[in-house]
Chain A
Amino acid sequence: MKAIKCKDLNKRFYRKNALNDLSFSIEENKIVGVIGRNGAGKTTLLKIIAGLLKEKSGVIEVYGRRPFNNLFVSANTIYIDDAMNFPTALTLKEILEEGKRFYHHWDHDLALRLFDYFGFNPSQHHNELSKGKESTFNMIVGLASRSPLTIFDEPTTGMDAAVRKDFYRALLKDYLAHPRTILLSTHHLEEMEDLLEEVLVIHEGSLKLQMSMDDLKEYGVGLTGKKDVVEPFLKEKEILWKKEQALDTCYAVIKNDLTDHEYQRMKEAGVQVSPVKANDLCIYLTESRNEKGSVDDVFDRSADV
Chain B
Amino acid sequence: MSLIEVQTSEIVKKQIGYKWRAYTGVFTSLVVIQLLGLLFSLNGSGSMGSGRTVYDVNITYYTADIVVGFTIFWGFLTAFLLTTKAYREDDFAFVTNRKTSTLSTIVFLFMICVIGALTALLSGFALKLIAYFILPGEEMLLTQGVGNVSAWLLGMFATIIIVFMFSSLGYLAGMIVQLNKMLVIVMPVVVVGLMILLSRGGFQIQVYFFEFFFEENNAWLFTLKTLSATTIFYALSVLVSNRLEVKQ
A residues adjacent to B (C-beta < 8 A): 13, 47, 51-54, 63, 69-72, 74-76, 84-90, 94, 98-99, 101-105, 146-148, 178-180
Set of chain B residues within 8 Å of A71, measured between Cβ atoms: 6, 8, 11, 95-97, 99-100
B59 to chain A, nearest CB (A): 45
B residues adjacent to A (C-beta < 8 A): 1-6, 8, 11, 14, 17-18, 21-25, 86, 89-90, 92-100, 242, 245-248
Set of chain B residues within 8 Å of A85, measured between Cβ atoms: 86, 89-90, 93
How many angstroms from the CA of A281 to the CA of B92 in the assembled complex?
37
A150 to chain B, nearest CB (A): 9
How many angstroms from the CA of A87 to the CA of B21 in the assembled complex?
9
Known: A71-B8, A89-B22, A148-B2. A53 touches B248 (CB 8 A): yes
| New A-B contacts (14) at CB < 8 Å, excluding given A76-B4, A85-B93, A87-B93 | A52-B245, A74-B97, A85-B86, A86-B90, A88-B25, A89-B22, A89-B23, A98-B22, A101-B17, A103-B94, A105-B1, A105-B2, A147-B1, A148-B2
Q: Decide if B95 touches A74 in the complex (CB within 8 Å).
A: yes
A142 to chain B, nearest CB (A): 12
The tally of CB-CB contacts under 8 A between chains A and B is 90
Q: Decide if B18 touches A98 in the complex (CB within 8 Å).
A: yes
Q: 22 A-B Cβ contacts within 8 A?
A: A13-B248, A52-B245, A53-B246, A54-B245, A69-B99, A71-B8, A71-B11, A72-B3, A72-B5, A85-B86, A86-B93, A87-B90, A89-B24, A90-B21, A98-B21, A98-B93, A102-B18, A102-B95, A105-B2, A147-B1, A148-B1, A178-B1
Q: Decide if A72 touches B6 in the complex (CB within 8 Å).
A: yes
Contact with A47, one of B1, B97, B247 (Cβ below 8 angstroms): B247
A88 to chain B, nearest CB (A): 8
Q: Decide if B3 touches A101 in the complex (CB within 8 Å).
A: no
How many angstroms from the CA of A71 to the CA of B89 in the assembled complex?
16
Set of chain B residues within 8 Å of A54, measured between Cβ atoms: 245
Contact with B18, one of A47, A75, A101, A146 (Cβ below 8 angstroms): A101
A70 to chain B, nearest CB (A): 6
B105 to chain A, nearest CB (A): 14
* Most chain A beta carbons < 10 A, residue from B1, B22, B25, B99: B1
A278 to chain B, nearest CB (A): 28
How many angstroms from the CA of A205 to the CA of B226 in the assembled complex?
50
Set of chain B residues within 8 Å of A86, measured between Cβ atoms: 90, 93
Q: Decide if B94 touches A63 in the complex (CB within 8 Å).
A: no
Interface of A (DSSP majority class)? loop
B183 to chain A, nearest CB (A): 18
Set of chain A residues within 8 Å of B23, measured between Cβ atoms: 87, 89
How many angstroms from the CA of A89 to the CA of B25 in the assembled complex?
7
Contact with A98, one of B1, B94, B246, B247 (Cβ below 8 angstroms): B94
How many angstroms from the CA of A129 to the CA of B246 in the assembled complex?
24
How many angstroms from the CA of A75 to the CA of B100 in the assembled complex?
12
How many angstroms from the CA of A72 to the CA of B10 in the assembled complex?
12
How many angstroms from the CA of A147 to the CA of B2 in the assembled complex?
9
A53 to chain B, nearest CB (A): 5
How many angstroms from the CA of A96 to the CA of B18 in the assembled complex?
12
How many angstroms from the CA of A84 to the CA of B94 in the assembled complex?
11
How many angstroms from the CA of A130 to the CA of B98 in the assembled complex?
31
A48's nearest neighbour on chain B, judged by CB, is B245
Known: A89-B25, A90-B22, A105-B1. A69 touches B98 (CB 8 A): yes
Q: Decide if A94 touches B21 in the complex (CB within 8 Å).
A: yes
How many angstroms from the CA of A94 to the CA of B20 in the assembled complex?
13
How many angstroms from the CA of A146 to the CA of B97 in the assembled complex?
20
B6's nearest neighbour on chain A, judged by CB, is A75
How many angstroms from the CA of A90 to the CA of B95 in the assembled complex?
17
* Most chain B beta carbons < 10 A, residue from A52, A71, A147: A71
A79's nearest neighbour on chain B, judged by CB, is B247
Set of chain A residues within 8 Å of B1, measured between Cβ atoms: 105, 146-148, 178-180
* Most chain A beta carbons < 10 A, residue from B18, B95, B245: B95
How many angstroms from the CA of A89 to the CA of B8 in the assembled complex?
26
Contact with A53, one of B5, B14, B97, B247 (Cβ below 8 angstroms): B247
How many angstroms from the CA of A71 to the CA of B100 in the assembled complex?
8
A97's nearest neighbour on chain B, judged by CB, is B21
